[in-house]
């Protein structure tokens, strides 16, 4: 675009444009005409003189650069136009030729510009393809990064920062939500839960930045905006998922924290899931709900012999009441799940030892079921069935075996074995209001055992049970608990009955327990 027609004619016709991967789209004799052509064709390269009528080369470059900043200009100028040329450099002009010039001077410049365009196009194409490829794999990259972060496989702050920037995550405070289906799910059911959760969380105007599946659980990383409605949103997720698939969900929610503490947030949600043992499956549990004693040092103050006595004598009502008392203590203490199950197992053994001897092995095989149960309520229902079954059998057996009077005598002895004045005379006069000799005769006839022998046997068996229990009772305490007032006399009676002194018996029980542990 030169005002000198010879130069225009020379450049336009003498250069073989196609040979250099170029196409000539127009030629103009002044700046105004050139600007119209440029706006119409939007060329990549413009060859222009600096001095032109109507609009000089500098004005032309300025106006074109405003709308098409990537347009490359080649400046043609005479020897006296260096001031103009220096201004042209301000517009990013890199190619400057002195007039007069021919195609041999212009072609190398054009070749270099074409080469630069091709390099730029190749780079742009590479970046575009890279971006498209990244967009395809980005969901998988996000999930893998999220999984690695929560399980602690990423420790570098720089790595965190890089990926958070890559995923356009600008928040600095987050909350982690874990959703646990209460039965095994197939891939479609887990994927559906993930998508359903994302849609509902977004509908509550909360930001969900990352989501993934770890084992059977869905993990969601939420921003803090709108968190005041998080329980409402989780209730809707639980309700909809149950309506669609008939699967209940337990949800665990961490406290708000930074992403650098994501592993700790995941640990919090795992602890919350443990608390479902007490609240039940299908609960929504936050860190604030956890009441566990962090040091795990528990000692349950409970007499297992009490419920054993009620089961043995067939007193179903009192046995169930005592069972409820036991589970109430467990629930209030909120101890570690494994420790709670160990106490439940101990209770189970105390109860099933009251069954028929030939059924003991069958009952003991069921103890493993306690470890497989997920909630305290499940264990309670299981134990209630066992207690009722054995107590009912014992009640029926006792009802057939003894008359009403003898049954009352036996029940009273079992319930008041710690009474030091317990005797046939006391029972006849103070409790049953009947003749002592008559009571003694019918008791011996129906039980094949004298009343005094029965009382002594019950006292000694209870003493042995107390010595076998994990509670470290003192000998004088056991003495009082089985109705003796003199520990020395108690020791003599116990040795005659068991063949060992109380201290020898307790030492043997302790050694047996240690061997079982080893």
Percent of the chain with pLDDT over 90: 33
What's the pLDDT at 296? Answer: 46
| 472 plus 354 within the same structural domain | no
| 281 plus 369 within the same structural domain | no
| 406 plus 390 within the same structural domain | no
289, 310, 343 — which closes off a domain? 289
pLDDT tens-digit series, residues 435-456: 898 889 888 888 888 999 999 9
Whichever domain contains 32, its CATH number is 3.40.50.2300
Tell me, yes or no, whether 62 lies in a domain: yes
> What span, in angstroms and rounded, lies between the C-alpha atoms of 390 and 395?
9
Tell me, yes or no, whether 139 lies in a domain: no
Tell me, yes or no, whether 328 lies in a domain: yes
Whichever domain contains 265, its CATH number is 3.30.70.270
Who wins on pLDDT, 37 or 305?
A: 37
CB within 8 Å of 358: residues ≥ 6 apart: none
pLDDT band at 288; cut points 50, 70, 90: confident
| 337 plus 379 within the same structural domain | yes
Number of domains present in the structure of the chain: 4
Query: In this structure, are strands 95-98 and 72-77 parallel, antiparallel, or unpaired?
Result: parallel
| 172 plus 272 within the same structural domain | yes
For residue 262, the enclosing domain spans 149-289
pLDDT band at 251; cut points 50, 70, 90: very high
| 384 plus 407 within the same structural domain | no
267, 289, 311 — which closes off a domain? 289
| 393 plus 407 within the same structural domain | no
Tell me, yes or no, whether 512 lies in a domain: yes
| 86 plus 157 within the same structural domain | no
Tell me, yes or no, whether 132 lies in a domain: no
Long-range CB contacts (within 8 A, 24+) of 465-468: 465/305, 465/308, 466/305, 467/502, 467/505, 467/506, 467/509, 468/509
Whichever domain contains 445, its CATH number is 1.10.10.60
Who wins on pLDDT, 409 or 273?
A: 409
Print burial letters for 170-191: b (CB count within 10 Å at least 16), e (below 16): eeeebbbbbbbbeeebeeebbe
Helix (H, G, I), strand (E, B) or coil at 467: helix
What values do phi and psi take at 331, rounded to 5?
Answer: -65, -35
| 505 plus 381 within the same structural domain | no
The mean pLDDT value of the chain amounts to 84
Percent of the chain with pLDDT over 70: 89
Which of 179, 167, 161 has its CA nearest to residue 142? Answer: 167
| 159 plus 280 within the same structural domain | yes
pLDDT tens-digit series, residues 491-513: 999 999 999 999 999 887 555 44
| 232 plus 299 within the same structural domain | no
| 275 plus 384 within the same structural domain | no
């Amino acid at each position: 675009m030169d005002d000198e027609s010879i130069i225009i004619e020379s450049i336009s016709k003498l250069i073989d444009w196609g040979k250099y991967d170029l196409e000539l789209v127009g030629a103009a004799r002044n700046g105004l005409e050139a600007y119209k052509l440029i706006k119409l064709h939007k060329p990549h390269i413009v060859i222009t003189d600096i001095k032109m009528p109507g609009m000089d080369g500098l004005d032309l470059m300025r106006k074109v650069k405003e709308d098409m900043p990537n347009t490359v200009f080649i400046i043609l100028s005479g020897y006296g136009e260096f001031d103009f040329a220096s201004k042209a450099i301000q517009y990013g002009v890199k190619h400057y030729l002195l007039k007069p010039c021919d195609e041999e001077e212009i072609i190398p410049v054009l070749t270099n510009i074409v080469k630069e365009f091709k390099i730029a196009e190749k780079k742009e194409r590479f970046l575009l393809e890279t971006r498209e490829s990244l967009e395809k794999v980005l969901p998988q990259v996000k999930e893998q990064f999220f999984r690695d972060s929560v399980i602690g496989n990423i420790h570098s702050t720089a790595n965190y920062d890089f990926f958070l920037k890559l995923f356009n995550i600008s928040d600095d405070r987050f909350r982690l939500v874990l959703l646990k289906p209460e039965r095994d799910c197939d891939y479609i059911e887990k994927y559906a839960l993930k998508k359903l959760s994302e849609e509902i969380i977004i509908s509550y105007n909360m930001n969900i930045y990352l989501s993934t599946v770890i084992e059977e659980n869905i993990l969601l990383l939420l921003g803090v905006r709108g968190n005041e409605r998080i329980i409402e949103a989780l209730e809707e997720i639980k309700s909809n998922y149950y309506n669609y698939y008939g699967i209940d969900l337990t949800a665990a929610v961490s406290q708000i924290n930074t992403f650098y503490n994501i592993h700790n947030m995941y640990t919090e949600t795992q602890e919350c899931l443990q608390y479902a043992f007490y609240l039940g499956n299908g609960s929504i549990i936050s860190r604030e709900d956890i009441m566990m004693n962090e040091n795990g040092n528990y000692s349950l103050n409970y007499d297992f012999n009490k419920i054993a006595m009620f089961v043995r004598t067939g007193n179903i009502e009192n046995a169930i009441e005592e069972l409820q008392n036991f589970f109430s203590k467990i629930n209030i203490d909120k101890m570690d799940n494994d420790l709670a199950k160990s106490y439940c197992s101990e209770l189970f053994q105390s109860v099933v030892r009251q069954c028929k001897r030939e059924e003991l092995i069958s009952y003991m095989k069921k103890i493993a079921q306690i470890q497989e149960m997920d909630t305290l309520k499940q264990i309670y229902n299981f134990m209630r069935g066992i207690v009722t079954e054995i107590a009912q059998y014992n009640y029926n057996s006792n009802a057939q075996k003894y008359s009403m009077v003898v049954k009352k005598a036996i029940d009273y002895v079992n319930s008041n074995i710690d009474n030091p004045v317990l005797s046939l005379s006391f029972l006849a006069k103070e409790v049953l209001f009947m003749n002592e000799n008559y009571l003694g005769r019918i008791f011996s006839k129906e039980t094949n055992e004298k009343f005094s022998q029965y009382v002594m046997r019950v006292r000694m068996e209870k003493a042995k049970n107390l010595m076998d229990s994990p509670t470290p009772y003192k000998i004088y305490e056991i003495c009082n608990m089985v109705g003796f007032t003199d520990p020395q006399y108690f020791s003599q009676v116990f040795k005659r009955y068991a063949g060992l002194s109380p201290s020898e018996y307790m030492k043997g029980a302790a050694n047996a327990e240690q061997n079982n542990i080893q």
